[in-house]
Chain A
Amino acid sequence: SQTIHQWPATLVQPVGSPLSLECTVEGTSNPNLYWYRQAAGRGLQLLFYSVGIGQISSEVPQNLSASRPQDRQFILSSKKLLLSDSGFYLCAWNYRAGTEAFFGQGTRLTVV
């Protein structure tokens, strides 16, 4: 069966510090991968998606970046965090466009 792992679960970082969140998928190959952010009490905002190694599409201009160094690994990064980067970050995957997506457990990031 397929599983998705995301870590860390919670993170408190000072403004201006770097960020690296990692997500890995097991039990499948060549998944579509997604990073979402959810602000408190709000909906899911699509940040990045990837259809293959090294292929990243950005949805929202911001100080975040994403990379896919391996088929089942997706990394979300920032060089300098802002207060507005606080939120619940979720990694997800699906088999192909238009199919249901499955989520990792999320990382709750607080920038202080």
Chain B
Amino acid sequence: RKEVEQDPGPFNVPEGATVAFNCTYSNSASQSFFWYRQDCRKEPKLLMSVYSSGNEDGRFTAQLNRASQYISLLIRDSKLSDSATYLCVAPRTGGFKTIFGAGTRLFVKA
């Protein structure tokens, strides 16, 4: 089983829609989690961190479910500019590897 697994998509949604991605992780000792955004042919950039209580940043909400070992990203009121690949990260506690999920592609259409 991969350490971090994501639905590759693509998710095709109209502008204004709400879309949610899930990411499952296998290492129950992971303490911190992150969502990154990667535009085509660019480097990944940190979108938001996900801590135990979850967090919200404008239209974006990230949540953690430790019991089921998954994190989620909710995007409300989708914009054309949200079209990108979203990567999740569940670093190992005590280790130095930073393993990324394969990413979920999102296309927002007018």
B and A form one assembly:
yes
Quick check: A44 and B97 within 8 Å, CB to CB? no
Which A residues are in CB contact (< 8 Å) with B49?
100
Residue of B nearest to A43 (CB): B102
Q: Is the pair B43, A97 in contact by a Cβ cutoff of 8 Å? A: no
Task: Check A99/B32 contact, CB under 8 A, given A42-B102, A43-B100, A59-B97.
Answer: yes
* Count of chain A residues near B, Cβ 8 A: 26
Is residue A7 contacting chain B, with contact meaning CB distance below 8 A?
no
Classify chain B: how many residues form its interface, as a range.
Answer: 20 to 34
B43 touches A105 (CB 8 A): yes
Residues of A7-59 at the interface with B, using a CB-CB cut-off of 8 Å, are 32, 34, 36, 42-44, 46, 49, 51, 57, 59
Contact of A98 among B32, B43, B44, B101 (CB under 8 A): B32
B98 touches A103 (CB 8 A): no
Q: Which residues of A contact B (CB under 8 A)?
A: 32, 34, 36, 42-44, 46, 49, 51, 57, 59, 88, 90, 92, 94, 97-106, 108
Residues of B within 8 A of A (CB): 30-32, 34, 41-46, 49, 87, 89, 91-103
